[in-house]
Structure 1
Amino acid sequence: MKRLVETGGSTLNSYGEIRDWRKTYIKDVSTDHDKLNSFHDEVITATVECAMANVQSERGDPPAPFAFFLMGSAGRFEQSVYSDQDHGIIFDGRQEFEDYFLALGKEIADGLEVVGYQLCDGKVMASNPLWCQSLHSWNQQVNVWLTEADWTSLRHFSTFFDSRVLIGEDRFLEEIKQEALTIIHSRPELFVRLVENVDFIKKGVGVFGQLLPGAHREQSGKIHVKQTAFFPYVNAMRLLAFKEGILAPSTLTRFKKIKPEYPSMHRFEGYFIELLDFRLRFQQDVASYEEAHLIAMEQLTKEDKKELKLFMKKGYELFSDTKKMIDNECSAWS
């Protein structure tokens, strides 16, 4: 099978070669959000195609059409220099085909780990039967998550919704998302539960306007930028995507699509764009995934701190406005 990514006239045929290529060139794109995420897509695609070739050599061709999709920051096109794995598989065929696609999912996860993408602690990977299912089973799974509507089920659903197909049939993922939105809009009370599911925001700014670094272990003296600054924007835009039927997973795309209906919400887009650039400025010397979302207080100048506090403040404001809007509309529906 032909590799997607070629460099220097030679094809990348192994995980080791892809890993070395990633290490060599990622620095060149590490200061540009779009170029960095496009590069991640190329590296992951090359790895998945290598995994597909390995599985095909042992088990033959895939027994059914399928889609390999990304979730989390990769799904939203918001990866930083280092990232863990969040991915799944949808196949259109009989349940007995599951063994083949689970084997493919495991090969992909193992390959991505070699290349430099840490295994997901929560096992949100195509090697896990929960995230590798037939199209029919996926529709049932999403229905179950939304019917149960407990904290874990809705967390799984939100993770799933921030997804895009990297290789394979886009229509599979679109069908499942459309069915999910139909269920949500037929049960308005789900909007309240979805808000509650992401309502806890780790505060990054204290009552006196000071930044609040972590106090334990590796987070001691450091700001967790993902939890304190990114999540309010990401969660608010996902909630509006549910409400407006937006299938696109990217936070920036969601901002653009809600502009006509919610200009007051759209005004926060610029802060999110600046936050993406701000994060990359402090990742040039990061050496591991664990460090990727942490910024040491000692690295921040007075101006940096002022800028970061503004990003946090605007994120909290956006989420608060979104929550109030949904609460008011749900009250009107009841």
Structure 2
Amino acid sequence: MNSYAEIRKWREQKITNVSTNHEALNTFHDELIKQSVKLAMKNVQSEWGDPPAPFAFFLMGSAGRFEQSVWSDQDHGIVFEGGDTLKPYFLKLGEEIVDGLVRVGYELCDGKVMSSNPLWCQSVTKWKEQITTWLHQDRWDSLRHFSTFFDSRVLIGESSLLKEMKQESFYVLEENPRLFTRLAENVGFIKKGIGFFGQLLPEQHGEYSGGIHLKQTVFFPYVNSLRLLALHERIYVPSTLSRFKGLPDKYQNIKSYEKNFIELLDFRLHLKKDAHNYQEVHHIAKKALSKEERQELKWMMKKGYKLFSETKKIIENECSTWS
């Protein structure tokens, strides 16, 4: 395709065909982003020449986990071989990618987790230093950055570069096992979605007052639990479903929650396939839910909270064993 407008038109024509199938939808997102990045690379090459070194463009967040809904924001980075003298080229590429994806229909990331940001566009050497720093700093924001990074996969380029970066994180964690407990604490706050009397607790303020925030109240307990266990077991794959499958047999109880997560993915697609923007994807009006849907949502919430509680106990027990 020769323009971002063509890619956007393709999106608009095809998205409804895949909006009710999780795998088909995310495969389509991958292709949309891939075509956008290839066009960005072509545009930059016409002005700046060929890439000066091997590199990888990688996805993070819901895109990295292969868990996007019909709308998504941008979460991505670039890693390249060589020194800092090459960084201006890849930052230029990152800027072109961000602009292109906006034109195709992907919103900017509020936290600026995009390859146009120098923090998320670095050489492999600097990336490894950055990962080590994030973990050693042991602060809320640095651990959050690290968690964001770990939910990553290469879409275009050298997959070995990202694997090398993840290996670095495993080395640091092995030397500092208490960090597993800190990472669990970092994601331990879960927005309460069920009240004392078993009622759903909607948002009280803002544009989506009266709605349930799916991402914070339902998705995060599953996503955060499987990320912690993936770090613990050195599982490289980023998707929550792949992490369930990658867990050793000793985690049979944890593996039993996989079906609940699949139900959650299907539930979101069923209810939000006609969402008009990224924000709508994450909010469901409580009054729009049937009695059966409310019960189903509460069940998935409860299972998620229980999963995170069990995961946290595993991490705490393992860390106490190591120390």
SS at match of 2:207: helix
SS at match of 1:248: coil
1:291 to 274, 280, 299: 280
Aligned: 1:165 with 2:154: yes
Q: 2:224 matched to which residue of 1?
A: 235
Could you tell me which amino acid in structure 1 is paired with residue 195 of structure 2?
G
Structure 1 moving runs of 4+ over 4 Å:
none
Aligned: 1:132 with 2:121: yes
Could you tell me which amino acid in structure 1 is paired with residue 123 of structure 2?
S
Measure, in 2, the Cα distance between the counterparts of 1:185 and 1:290.
38
Q: 1:104 matched to which residue of 2?
A: 93
1:116 to 100, 105, 117: 105
Cα contact 1:76–1:249 (8 A) shared by 2: yes
Measure, in 1, the Cα distance between the counterparts of 2:208 and 2:185.
26
Could you tell me which amino acid in structure 2 is paired with residue 241 of structure 1?
A
- What does residue range 86-235 of structure 1 map to in structure 2 within 5 Å? 86-235=75-224
Could you tell me which amino acid in structure 2 is paired with residue 211 of structure 1?
L
- Mean Cα deviation higher: 179-188 or 127-136: 179-188
Q: 1:277 matched to which residue of 2?
A: 266
SS at match of 1:20: helix
Aligned: 1:305 with 2:291: no
Aligned: 1:315 with 2:277: no
Could you tell me which amino acid in structure 2 is paired with residue 101 of structure 1?
F
Which digits, 9 at most, give the CA deviation of each residue in 1:156-203, with x for residues without a partner? 000000000000000000001011111101111101110110000001
Cα contact 1:259–1:265 (8 A) shared by 2: no
Could you tell me which amino acid in structure 1 is paired with residue 24 of structure 2?
K
Measure, in 2, the Cα distance between the counterparts of 1:187 and 1:259.
22
Deviation at 1:284, TM superposition (A): 2.4
Cα contact 1:45–1:167 (8 A) shared by 2: yes
Deviation at 1:324, TM superposition (A): 1.0
Q: TM-score, normalised by structure 1?
A: 0.96
Measure, in 2, the Cα distance between the counterparts of 1:38 and 1:259.
27
Measure, in 2, the Cα distance between the counterparts of 1:63 and 1:268.
45
Cα contact 1:146–1:153 (8 A) shared by 2: yes
SS at match of 2:74: coil
Deviation at 1:59, TM superposition (A): 0.4
Q: 2:243 matched to which residue of 1?
A: 254
Aligned length: 323
Measure, in 2, the Cα distance between the counterparts of 1:288 and 1:150.
33
Deviation at 1:261, TM superposition (A): 2.4
Contiguous gaps of at least 5 residues in structure 2: none
Contiguous gaps of at least 5 residues in structure 1: 1-11
Deviation at 1:28, TM superposition (A): 0.5
Q: TM-score, normalised by structure 2?
A: 0.99
